[in-house]
Amino acid sequence: MLAALWQGPLVRLVPVGMVLLALQRSIFVEITVAGVIIQVVLALAAAAGAAGGSERGAVAGFVLGLMYDMLEGLPLGSTAIAMTLAGAVAGLLALIVAEPHWWLAMLFTGLGAAVGEIMVPVVRLFTGATDPFEQRLTLIVPVVAAAAAVLSPIFVPLARWCLGIKRAEWVAPPRETPV
């Protein structure tokens, strides 16, 4: 069991998540687009889904969401549910093709991040937050989705590395030589 944990995705995902959380809490709080903070951790969760499928995306989203909840002091699991859904939705969309091109991965990451960002106030409503829906939600969701899509050419390969996913190598079948 210990060997499975050591060789699993958590060994790489947790340090990368810590770095992204530090960047999100320090740099990306100051750098906003239309007054919206870019959610880089959510973008990595969605990129993990686009790179590795719904199951791996859900695992990455759950781990990154728990880390986010612990850092922010939120109810444990509230952001984890939203990020799990972001990774799972991006992974389900990625089932359309065996190996998505960069622009498809960009689209899947953006859509997964949009679902995750929409789910944050829904989950906060269930945890007892008073008025979690902001009036700017119609501005926040497209900005977060577009930022995740723009970051996906960096985050999809990073998610592949974190989750230990190797790119598929397509090899032509050997030709039969006439006898």
Query: What tens digit of pLDDT does each residue of 38-59 get?
Result: 999 999 999 999 998 899 999 9
Looking at residue 48, what is its pLDDT?
95
The percent of residues in the chain predicted with pLDDT above 70, rounded, is 95
CATH of 8-163, one of 1.10.3470, 2.60.40, 1.10.20, 1.10.1760: 1.10.1760
Which of 116, 139, 128, 143 has the alpha carbon at shortest distance from 62?
A: 116
Pick the closest to residue 64 from 105, 94, 21 (CA basis).
21
**59-91 pLDDT per residue, tens:** 999 999 999 999 988 888 889 999 999 999 999
pTM beyond 0.85: the answer is: yes
Shortest CA distance to 152 belongs to which of 43, 14, 21, 37?
43
Rounded to a whole number of angstroms, the CA Rg of the chain reads: 18
Rounded to 5 degrees, what are φ and ψ at 73? 75, 25
Alpha helices in the chain (DSSP H): 2-7, 10-30, 40-52, 54-72, 78-93, 102-126, 137-163
Instruction: Calculate mean pLDDT across residues 147-162.
Output: 95
